[in-house]
Structure 1
Amino acid sequence: MGLLENFRVALRSVNANLLRALLTTLIIAVGIMALVGILTAIDVAIYSLSSNLSSLGANTIEIERVSTTVSGGRRQGRRGVKKRSDPFTYDQAMEFKERYQYPAEISVSNFATGATVVKYGEEETNPNVSVFGATSNYLDTKGYEIEAGRNITEKEALEGGNLVVIASDLVDALFDGKPQEAIGKEISAGPLRLSVIGALKSRGSSMNASQDRRLIIPLQTAKRYYGSSRTNYDILIAIPDPTGVDAAMGEATLTMRGVRRLKAGEENDFEVKNSSDLVSIIKENTVTLRSAALGIGLITLLGAAIGLMNIMLVSVTERTREIGVRKALGATKRNVLLQFLIEAILICQIGGVLGIILGVAAGNVIALVLGGSFIVPWVWIGLALVTCTIVGLMAGLYPAMRAAALDPIESLRYE
């Protein structure tokens, strides 16, 4: 009996006991769906985050405040209290920009507000538009591109002015998606009346946070209308040569220590981060989650393997006479062994394919809801198929050996 004939016999057997095989297939499908679905969702989330950070470039450096834990007082008990270091003031940010020696583009920006209604004529947006004050390098360091009009100049950023560059969602909401029509128009945003000088290309969203629902105004204008003594100014550095990131980070640390007036021996009250480091940290932190997904899937598949073994043992008992006929016609122990092993693997693979389809769909749906993009996780698909094959071999081996060991004469007498 050839391999192809064994496949045909396996298919006929599955079809003859369709309901029984279907139930086992569904158990396997659920296990594979859990395995592939969770792993796919994790991959999509990481891919989405990596894509958004790569738009800044792996050679982008950000300087952030650090959080420290201070011991609680009598009211707080023994638990520590998280306290962030002092914000980067406007003067400190601008001093850093002037003193930094490494050849790079440096942008200074601040988050002014995240709950603004923007109006133009009779049209207005929802009260969820963010306003950022920024220098002229902000768009380059953040990975934005101008679609129409122009960027804010450095002179305008430092002197102020009622000018604004708008993101694509605002173009869609206020100007019917026509960026050229927005240029030169006057819009209102909170207490400000602003003249539109530029419109940005769409950036999409990252983890449910839209990058296209924002206004960029001159830094000095944001400072004047939204600034306070506790306003923190963000510093972003774009290095032209990625091989110089380490040197640039070292220079940034030395420069910022001077700006913050830290003495020798004092710890840094800031962190210098690179976007590629952030992705690596996130990937490392998902190892436990991946392990949990593998555990859930394998436990479910273990239950499916036990169910499949039971079905195969029942099948051997029901087909004892058929086995005797095959052996009487010349089938060897190897032929019978292969027949039942192929049948077990076939049931597992059918369940695996169904589980892969459901898992990829479920994982991508979750990721799309969170603002990710659709991917096909070929690595996890391959892992699922290999796992199904192993489960089929493990579950089918004992029933197949039992079938192969049957005596043909006793089997022919079986009723």
Structure 2
Amino acid sequence: MKLTLVYENLRIALGSIRTNLLRTILTILIIGIGLTALIGILTAISSIQAAISNKFTGMGANSFTIENRGINVQIGKRKLRNKRYGSITFREAMQFKDEFDFPAVVAVSHTATGAATVKHESDKSNPNVMVIGVDENFMDVEGHTILRGRNFTQQEIKDNRYVAVLGSALAKKVFPNSQNPLDKVIVSGGAKYRVIGVLEEKGAGFGSQSDNILLLPITNVRQVFSRPNMSYKIVVKANDSQQVDAAISEATGVFRIIRRLTVHDEDNFNVNKSDNLSRLLIESTGQVTIIAFGIGVITLLGAAIGLMNIMLVAVAERTREIGIRKAIGASSKAIRNQFLFESIIIGQIGGIVGIVVGVMVGNLMSMVMKSNFIVPWLWVIVGALVCLAVGVLSGLLPALKASKLDPIDSLRYE
């Protein structure tokens, strides 16, 4: 009996929605636009956060860097600011690599220049190529993958060989028309190099140009791109992400000994975890999330007021219908549920429209950032519950008003 009554109330509510189609569509659009703004912005923020995480995970979430200077970044009120110390020499870097006894991979590198030109026959790159001197472990710790050819060998690094690995963007520029770069000779910095490998495309972002790079043996860079006070970077990638903090402590102790520091001296080098900047960037999006939620709630509040007003008008327009239904035996509870169901259905339809459109709009940012398709399930559930609350609260007052109408007065209503 109860199920029959519920079904009858739903049928009447749906019939009323179809009868007042224009009004219903306008109400659904109001709710849908409010939820689209909320879900769309939050989906876009989730896409940005995913892109940041992917970018820095590619750099090695379980790695850290030892340098003579730290990262100087300020995002809002949050800062990453470290001191700059004396250069880390090649001897110190290689000694650390030899003496660091921990389950980890150590890579030593040096950025020679960011404004180099690379030539092959008549083809030439722009003068914005980043030349990096690396060892055989660099690609592993920095998250690079070989697309063609091979990595440097220990012997090539030791013997100062004139060999090179190209980033994907650089390879396309210097070897157009799908030429095979392997074993071809390029010129950079006045020296000739034989190409032994090409990297997979990694993508650029957050100030990096990881595809427009030229990798050379670090011993070769010391000679060809030599300059006073060259400082080297040490990157350590722990085998187990749970042991990063232990690796940092061990590395700090080893490098303090190499730098000949006493127990009373403070560290004269910086240790930067690879996820520090990503955490700062992700945390900076928190305020945007709060603002977006506030905008969405305000819009949905306006939609709730509009829906309540429309339901009150519907009660006034259907007063005679209410009187007839009461006269043939409908209870006040049945009348109340009819209008309440109608309000909830409109709210949920608006919610579905807003969620679908919001997710699609928000994922335009995923396309721009080249990250995965994001569905913010938490906010989808929150949005559905908010629309349910909007439907209940907006329909409750009109439903109560309809249920309390006197059937005789309703029948005489014109």
Indicate the TM-score class for this superposition, using the shorter chain for normalisation: 0.7 to 0.9
Match of 2:36 among 6, 16, 33: 33
Structure-2 change in CA distance of 1:366 and 1:241 (3 Å): closer
CA–CA separation in structure 2 for the residues paired with 1:228 and 1:2: 87
SS class of match (1:183): coil
Unaligned runs of 5+ in 1: 70-80
Write the deviation string for residues 124-148 of structure 1: whole angstroms up to 9, x where unpaired. Answer: 4455443222111001111222232
- Matching residue of 2:350: 351
Aligned counterpart in structure 1 of residue 66 of structure 2, from 58, 63, 69: 63
Structure 1 moving runs of 4+ over 6 Å:
none
Which string of whole-angstrom CA distances, capped at 9 and with x for unpartnered residues, describes residues 216-263 of structure 1? 111133333445345543221112233332221101111233344444
**Are the structure 2 counterparts of residues 55 and 67 from structure 1 closer, same or farther at C-alpha, using a change threshold of 3 Å?**
closer
Q: Deviations over 1:164-194 (max 9, x none)?
A: 1122334444546868x22101223464432
Pairs aligned (count): 403
1:398 and 2:402 are equivalent in the alignment:
no
- Given the superposition, is the C-alpha separation of residues 324 and 355 from structure 1 closer, same or farther in structure 2, using an over 3 Å criterion? same
In 1, the alpha carbon distance for the partners of 2:128 and 2:51 equals: 22
Q: How does 1:129-208 map to 2 (within 5 A)?
A: 129-175=129-175, 181-189=180-188, 191-206=190-205
* Partners of 2:18 and 2:364 in 1: CA distance: 33
State the match for 2:78 in structure 1: none
| Partner residue, 1:237 | 236
Structure 1 residues 281 and 159: CA distance shift in structure 2, 3 A: same
Structure 1 stretch displaced more, 265-274 or 341-350 = 265-274
* Residues 370-381 of structure 1 mapped to structure 2, 5 A cutoff: 370-381=369-380
Structure 1 vs Structure 2 CA RMSD = 3.0
Preserved contact between residue 66 and residue 269 of structure 1 (Cα < 8 Å): no
| 2:202 partner SS | coil
Contact 1:252 1:272 survives alignment (8 Å): no
| Distance in 2 (alpha carbons) for counterparts of 1:317 and 1:208 | 62
Give the equivalent residue in structure 2 for 1:258: 257
After superposition, the Cα gap between the structure-2 partners of 1:335 and 1:83, relative to the gap in structure 1 and judged at 3 Å, is same
- Deviation of 1:212 (Å): 2.8
Q: Which moved more, 1:118-127 or 1:27-36?
A: 118-127
Relative to structure 1, is the Cα distance of residues 210 and 10 closer, same or farther in structure 2, using a 3 angstrom cutoff?
farther
Query: Structure 1 residues 391, 224: CA separation in 2 closer, same or farther (over 3 Å shift)?
Result: farther
Q: Deviations over 1:300-320 (max 9, x none)?
A: 111111111111111111111
Secondary structure at the counterpart of residue 106 of structure 1: strand
Aligned residue type for 1:397: L
Superposed CA offset, 1:333-359 (max 9, x none): 222222222222222222222222332
- 1:12 is the counterpart of 2:9: no
Q: TM-score, normalised by structure 1?
A: 0.85
Q: Which residue of 1 aligns with 2:90?
A: 90
Q: Which moved more, 1:352-361 or 1:185-194?
A: 185-194
Does residue 57 of structure 2 align to residue 54 of structure 1? yes
Please give the alpha-carbon distance, in whole angstroms, between the structure 2 residues aligned to 1:241 and 1:209. Answer: 26
Residue in 2 that maps onto 1:101? 101
1:97 maps to amino acid: K
Relative to structure 2, which stretch is displaced further, 11-20 or 241-250? 11-20
TM-score (norm 2): 0.85
- The Cα of 1:6 is off from its aligned counterpart by 3.3
Per the alignment, do residues 351 and 115 of structure 1 end up closer, same or farther by CA in structure 2, a change over 3 Å counting? farther
2:301 is aligned to 302
Q: Structure 1 237/319 Cα, relative in aligned 2: closer, same or farther at 3 Å?
A: same
Instruction: Note if contact 1:207-1:371 (Cα within 8 Å) is conserved in structure 2.
Output: no
Secondary structure of 2:363 counterpart: helix
Q: How does 1:209-220 map to 2 (within 5 A)?
A: 209=208, 211-220=210-219
- Output the amino acid matched with 2:168: S
The residue type equivalent to 1:111 in the other structure is T
Query: Distance in 1 between the 2:328 and 2:220 partners?
Result: 93
Report if the CA contact (8 A) 1:208-1:371 is conserved. no
Q: C-alpha distance in 2, partners of 1:32/1:378? A: 14
Gaps of 5+ in 2: 74-80
Whether the 8 Å CA contact 1:67–1:85 is kept in 2: the answer is no
Give, in angstroms, the shift of residue 68 of structure 1.
Answer: 8.7
Amino acid of the residue matched to residue 148 of structure 2? A
Equivalent residues of 1:207, 1:370 under 8 A apart: no
For 2:59 and 2:253, locate their aligned partners in 1 and report how far apart those are by CA, in whole Å.
Answer: 23
What residue number does 1:384 align with?
Answer: 383
For residues 240 and 83 of structure 1, what CA distance do their matches in structure 2 show? 29
